[in-house]
């Protein structure tokens, strides 16, 4: 197990970081030329990389709360007694996109968004609405990709919420009900605090997920139009395709550090809160 | 704890062994029956081609077997670099010349085929242009096997339906593009559901390649940089073509063409949505099939931009075979590479891939294949800047970014953008020289 972790976990990361300190022209050769931080200097001077960082962070900042909120609402709906009869069907419907291969999902969504032939565009035309430019417009591409990512990932967050909802002691609701608390009060004062671990888990997981957004960019937009969906992962990949191995791995390392820092911060906040709770 | 340290040391030894796998032997001599392994990116048709080559080669070389493996292009590049660097190389690598250059840049382990060329009996098969592409930093890296030709295609039935003829000038092409975009050239009862042209823009190579075709097709060489290293994007004629080219995207292509790469471009062409498109010699076999385009297209040279310009078909690339210096069967591999230029082998190349370098082939060809096999129009060769300027991919990327900006914004000041881009390119080249 220890060996496997080194072989498939640690070794590729170290190798990639090592490559980020080499000149691209020699990165894959047996005698790479070490240029220390030049690749990092170069990428931080590249306005397209800085823009891709901005796009990635912006996308994450908007997508994480949206996904968590929608997942929470879906969990409340799925946990409601009204849906008791068809609960398995509804849960399956919400979770199904999670297991659909990302590539296949992106291809289908790309067709749905097609300006000239896509059904979304056709419906807009039929209803006399303004043209839906979807992936072809720099202003609509990120919300369009955000919707795809929401559809793809919200099921997982919902399942985590639903599972945790079932663990909440029902007597708390009964007591609150007898005290005269309405549904909104019960949700705000019992459900949300009790789901706090699930919220934290989902937020950390979603943040990591959205910082690494790649497939939708690769399949649906190739970073476009005009680099409007050029996420860091995709930009690193396109640098790799141009044989700029040093810069590509430097970008990968920056993203890796960012993900680690955010995960560690979340862990720290989590443990701080636990210890605060312990002292009360 | 001791056990963990031991395991860690074992892992280190294993990893070290991995990175030097394959040993250090650099031999080329072999004896007895041999199997030559070829890596390429030509897919199933490439595998079939090498299977047929194997059968043909075994008639005169019964002790040698040819096997081939196909990889997606990017994987081919990475695997080839890794294999050459770790002395686990295949015997032959086959691909476009610029990809072989990438492998050489990262390994410096491609065998110089100059002597093999000198010992050829039929040297005149290869032109000066072919030879200049084959050489890089003083070495003959590849044996040119397939000259890649690209022409201009128009839907035959759409021409008939609209009463138009094949465009010879840009003005005629624009008129046709207007008719195809706004009319009902496919006679499906709906006007405006088709496009004048199928183009692509998403990747640097895609977009510049398209501009190259229109530029070279009208007889002008060098799109971004000339062989002396001068940036030419603001030279008046080229700038004029660039502006007209950008307008094609704005007015006569699918709205999301800015995100299109090869796959999407082919979907538009093969889905019967575009009236004019690029036709490569390798497209013909597929597009003549009844389930694809059924031969419903006319091929010709690219339209001339101005009176007095050329109408040319563009030689846009060269696929060739290279031999890794650390191939274990190097001599046998070089002999097979020489064989690839024989008439019989070249006929198989044309049969399977649709292109070759010899012009004396005896083949039963379709009308469209005939167009490329016996060109009756002016041929103009791409200038292959990748083999001259090591920094070319970077400046191409800069130009791509500038053009994408223009495609995404109709109100952009293209003149200013091009001036700014030229400055950026020059600064980059100067910093490289430093």
Interface predicted TM-score (ipTM) of this complex, two decimals: 0.73
d(CA B300, CA B306): 17
Residues in A 189-218 with any Cβ partner in B closer than 8 A: none
Per residue in A7-33, pLDDT tens?
777 888 898 999 999 988 788 777 888
Angle, alpha carbons B299-B383-B313 (nearest 5°): 10
pLDDT on residue B17: 47
Instruction: Give chain A's residues under pLDDT 50.
Output: 277-280
Over 80: is that where the pLDDT of B5 sits? no
Over 80: is that where the pLDDT of B214 sits? yes
Cβ count near B192 (within 10 Å): 10
Per residue in A128-170, pLDDT tens?
888 788 898 899 999 999 999 999 999 999 999 999 998 999 8
Our CA-based measurement puts residue A152 at a distance from the nearest CA of chain B, in whole angstroms, of 22
pLDDT band for position B19 (cuts 50, 70, 90): very low
Q: Which fold has domain B149-316+386-433?
A: D-Maltodextrin-Binding Protein; domain 2 (3.40.190)
pLDDT on residue B9: 54
Annotated domain spans of chain A: 37-279
pLDDT on residue A195: 92
How big is chain A by its Cα radius of gyration, in Å? 23
pLDDT on residue A276: 56
B49 or B394: which leads in pLDDT: B49
Annotated domain spans of chain B: 34-147+318-368, 149-316+386-433
Nearest to B208 by CA among B218, B219, B223: B223
Nearest to A11 by CA among B17, B423, B422: B17
* Homologous superfamily assigned to B34-147+318-368: Periplasmic binding protein-like II (3.40.190.10)
> Could you tell me which residues are beta bridge partners of residue B67?
B37
Chain B residues with CB-CB distance to A under 8 A? Answer: 4, 7-8, 10-11, 14-15, 74, 77-78, 81-82, 85-86, 102, 105-108, 193, 195, 201-204, 254-256, 258-259, 261, 273, 390, 393-394, 397, 401, 404-405, 407-409
d(CA B107, CA B102): 9
pLDDT on residue B143: 94
Alpha carbons within 13 A on the beta-carbon side of A88: 0
Q: What is the CATH number of domain A37-279?
A: 1.10.3720.10
B413 or A269: which leads in pLDDT: B413
d(CA A100, CA A97): 5
Residues of A whose CB is below 8 A from B24: none
Contact at CB, A28 and B15, closer than 8 angstroms? no
pLDDT on residue A103: 93
d(CA A250, CA A245): 8
Over 50: is that where the pLDDT of B25 sits? no
d(CA A154, CA A68): 7
Domain B149-316+386-433 in the same topology as domain B34-147+318-368: yes
d(CA A190, CA B216): 71
Nearest to B254 by CA among B184, B174, B171, B192: B192
Angle, alpha carbons B235-B236-B239 (nearest 5°): 80
pLDDT on residue A279: 39
d(CA B235, CA B50): 45
Over 50: is that where the pLDDT of B144 sits? yes
Residues of B whose CB is below 8 A from A115: 254-256
For chain A, give the mean pLDDT. Answer: 89
* Residue partners of A198: CB distance under 8 A and separation at least 6: A160, A161, A163, A164
Per residue in B270-295, pLDDT tens?
999 999 999 998 899 889 999 999 99
Residues of B whose CB is below 8 A from A116: 193, 195, 254-256, 273
pLDDT on residue A90: 85
Residues of B whose CB is below 8 A from A242: 204, 393-394, 397
Residue B80 preceded by cis peptide, ω within 30: no
> Could you tell me which residues are beta bridge partners of residue B40?
B70
Over 50: is that where the pLDDT of B390 sits? yes
Nearest to B106 by CA among A249, A273, A244: A244
pLDDT on residue B28: 45
């Amino acid at each position: 197990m220890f060996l496997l972790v080194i072989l498939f976990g640690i070794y590729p990361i170290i190798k990639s970081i090592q490559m980020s300190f080499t000149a691209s022209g020699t990165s894959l050769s047996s005698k790479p030329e070490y240029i220390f931080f030049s690749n990092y200097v170069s990428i931080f001077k590249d306005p397209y990389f800085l823009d891709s960082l901005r796009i990635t962070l912006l996308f994450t900042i908007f997508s994480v709360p949206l996904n968590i909120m929608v997942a929470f609402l879906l969990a409340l709906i799925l946990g409601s007694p009204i849906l008791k009869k068809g609960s398995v069907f509804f849960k399956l419907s919400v979770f199904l996109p999670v297991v659909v291969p990302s590539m296949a999902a992106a291809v289908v969504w790309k067709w749905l968004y097609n300006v000239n032939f896509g059904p979304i565009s056709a419906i807009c035309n039929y209803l006399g609405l303004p043209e839906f430019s979807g992936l072809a417009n720099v202003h609509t591409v990120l919300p369009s990709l955000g919707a795809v990512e929401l559809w793809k990932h919200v099921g997982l967050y919902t399942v985590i919420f639903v599972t945790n909802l079932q663990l909440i002691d029902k007597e708390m609701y009964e007591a609150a009900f007898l005290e005269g608390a309405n549904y909104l009060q019960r949700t705000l004062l019992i459900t949300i605090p009790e789901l706090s671990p699930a919220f934290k888990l989902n937020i950390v997981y979603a943040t990591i997920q959205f910082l690494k957004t790649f497939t939708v960019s690769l399949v649906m937009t190739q970073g476009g139009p005009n680099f409007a969906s050029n996420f860091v992962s995709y930009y690193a990949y396109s640098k790799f395709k141009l044989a700029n191995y040093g810069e590509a791995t430097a970008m990968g390392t920056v993203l890796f550090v960012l993900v680690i820092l955010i995960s560690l911060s979340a862990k720290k906040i989590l443990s701080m809160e636990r210890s605060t709770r312990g002292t009360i | 704890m001791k056990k963990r340290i031991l395991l860690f040391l074992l892992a280190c030894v294993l990893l070290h062994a991995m990175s030097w796998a394959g040993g250090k032997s650099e031999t080329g001599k072999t004896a007895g029956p041999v199997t030559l392994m070829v890596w390429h990116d030509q897919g199933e048709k490439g595998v079939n081609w090498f299977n047929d080559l194997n059968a043909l080669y075994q008639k005169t070389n019964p002790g040698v077997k040819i096997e081939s493996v196909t990889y997606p292009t990017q994987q081919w590049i990475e695997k080839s670099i890794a294999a050459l660097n770790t002395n686990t190389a295949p015997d032959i690598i086959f691909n476009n010349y610029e990809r072989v250059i990438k492998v050489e840049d990262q390994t410096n382990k491609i065998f110089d085929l100059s002597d093999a060329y000198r010992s050829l009996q039929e040297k005149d098969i290869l032109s000066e242009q072919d030879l200049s592409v084959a050489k890089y930093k003083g070495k003959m890296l590849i044996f040119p096997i397939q000259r890649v030709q690209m022409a201009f295609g128009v839907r035959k039935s759409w021409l008939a339906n609209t009463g138009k003829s094949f465009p010879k000038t840009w003005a005629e092409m624009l008129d046709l593009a207007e008719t195809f975009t706004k009319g009902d050239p496919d006679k499906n009862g709906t006007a405006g559901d088709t496009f004048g042209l199928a183009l692509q823009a998403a990747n640097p190579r895609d977009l510049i390649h398209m501009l190259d075709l229109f530029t070279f097709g009208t007889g002008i060489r060098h799109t971004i940089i000339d062989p002396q290293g001068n940036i030419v994007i603001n030279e008046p004629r080229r700038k004029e073509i660039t502006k007209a080219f950008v307008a094609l995207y704005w007015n006569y292509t699918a709205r999301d063409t800015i995100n299109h790469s090869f796959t999407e471009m082919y979907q538009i062409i093969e889905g019967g949505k575009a009236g004019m498109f690029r036709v490569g010699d390798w497209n013909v076999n597929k597009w003549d099939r009844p389930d694809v385009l059924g031969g419903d297209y006319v091929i010709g040279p690219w339209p001339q931009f101005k009176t007095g310009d050329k109408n040319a078909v563009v030689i846009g690339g060269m696929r060739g075979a290279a031999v890794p210096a650390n191939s274990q069967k190097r001599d046998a591999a070089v002999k097979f590479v020489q064989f690839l230029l024989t008439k019989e082998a070249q006929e198989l190349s044309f049969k399977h891939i649709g292109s070759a370098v010899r012009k004396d082939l005896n083949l039963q060809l379709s009308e469209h294949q005939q167009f490329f096999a016996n060109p009756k129009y002016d041929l103009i060769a791409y200038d292959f800047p990748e083999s001259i300027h090591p920094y070319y991919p970077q400046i191409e990327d800069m130009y791509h970014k500038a053009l994408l900006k223009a495609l995404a914004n109709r109100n952009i000041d293209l003149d200013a953008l091009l001036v700014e881009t030229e400055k950026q390119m020059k600064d980059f080249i100067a910093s490289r020289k430093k």
